[in-house]
């Protein structure tokens, strides 16, 4: 289990990450607005703009997902359940939390979850 001091350190880290993600979202929105105002000169330009718009949308989706995960982790801190694996309910290793403070799963369960997600996507 994490100490109160460790919880506070992770809370500070998560709040800093949240601030950075929000900044990244705002920058991405500005980039998207600029790109949307561009007029393609030919079919090649149009293809590039469409491709870039797809990439921008994927980046935005990833940023919003990360923001959501950070908010969930911050809520877990408030409830006193931060650092507990959502699958096996065992403590998540502190080294894992240092790398990914909004981790939902311990290393073992993360691997199981990723395999299940891969198989689910593959069967579609």
Q: What is the pLDDT of residues 62-95, one digit of tens each?
A: 999 999 999 999 999 999 999 999 999 999 999 9
Give Cβ neighbours of residue 21 (< 8 Å, ≥ 6 apart).
Answer: 63, 66, 67, 70
Selected residue with higher pLDDT from 6 and 54: 6
pLDDT at residue 22 in the model: 97
Q: CA 53 to CA 23: how far, in whole Å?
A: 19
| Per-residue pLDDT band at 120 (split at 50, 70, 90) | confident
pLDDT of residue 31: 83
Q: The tokens of 116 are what?
A: 């299940």
Domain spans in the chain, listed from the N-terminal domain onward: 1-82, 84-124
């Amino acid at each position: 289990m994490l100490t109160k001091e460790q919880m506070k350190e992770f809370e500070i880290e998560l709040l800093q990450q949240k601030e950075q993600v929000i900044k990244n979202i705002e920058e991405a929105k500005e980039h998207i607005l600029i790109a949307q105002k561009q007029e393609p000169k030919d079919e090649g330009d149009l293809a590039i703009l469409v491709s870039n718009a797809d990439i921008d949308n994927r980046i935005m989706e990833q940023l919003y997902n990360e923001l959501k995960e950070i908010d969930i982790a911050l809520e877990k801190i408030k409830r006193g359940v931060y650092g507990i694996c959502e699958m096996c309910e065992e403590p998540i290793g502190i080294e894992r939390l240092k790398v990914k403070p909004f981790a939902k799963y311990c290393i073992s369960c993360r691997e199981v979850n990723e395999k299940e997600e891969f198989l689910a996507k593959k069967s579609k």
